[in-house]
Amino acid sequence: MSQSFGTPYLDDALLVENGTTPDEVVSFVRRRALSPRRVAGMTIWNFNNHELDREQLAAQADDLLNDRYIVPFQVSGAWGFMAALLPETILEAEVLVFDQGTGEYHPYPSYFRHTEKEHQNEVKCSIQQKLSEVTAGAD
């Protein structure tokens, strides 16, 4: 395990570069989705390359009000693809982000969980319709 910033890299870290293939990303997502960590009564899906700080999570357990969390991948371009592969069970978990400055985890709401599926679909359809109108004259 190599050290980078606060906590060590995990042995199965995915270093996304220009040559990283979709198959590599899919393999990483499957591995992490099927191996959540249990810490202080919480289930945590860690898609970040860094090891969870279990001591810090245990210390914050009383302040973290949910029992399911997801730690997103740190490269936003890759995370968008990863999230599209995940089932609702995982996407609806609240989000945890580690603050290297304070050494604490900060919870954020899961917008998937707090937005009804029907509304999500309406937004997608609306954007697709407008996109079709905008791109119709672009050819």
Max Cα-Cα span within the chain: 57
pLDDT tens-digit map of 44-60: 999 999 999 999 999 99
Question: Is the model's pLDDT at 12 over the cut of 70?
Answer: yes
Name which of 78, 80, 83, 74 is nearest 21 in CA terms: 78
Compute CA 41 distance to the chain's CA centroid, rounded to the nearest angstrom.
Answer: 20
Q: What's residue 2's pLDDT?
A: 46
Distance of alpha carbon 39 from alpha carbon 16, whole angstroms:
27
Q: Is the CB of residue 70 less than 8 Å from the CB of residue 110?
A: yes
pLDDT tens-digit map of 71-103: 999 998 899 999 999 999 999 999 999 998 899
pLDDT tens-digit map of 69-79: 999 999 988 99
And the tokens for 114? 């707090």
Reported as a pLDDT band with limits 50, 70 and 90, residue 4 is very low
Q: Is the CB of residue 70 less than 8 Å from the CB of residue 44?
A: yes
Q: Which of residues 114 and 63 earns the better pLDDT score?
A: 63
Q: What's residue 9's pLDDT?
A: 87
Residue whose entry in the numeric block shows the structure tokens 């190599």: 2
Name which of 44, 51, 43 is nearest 71 in CA terms: 44
Distance of alpha carbon 115 from alpha carbon 5, whole angstroms:
34
The pTM of this model reads 0.84
Q: What's residue 112's pLDDT?
A: 86
Q: What's residue 54's pLDDT?
A: 95
Q: What's residue 135's pLDDT?
A: 87
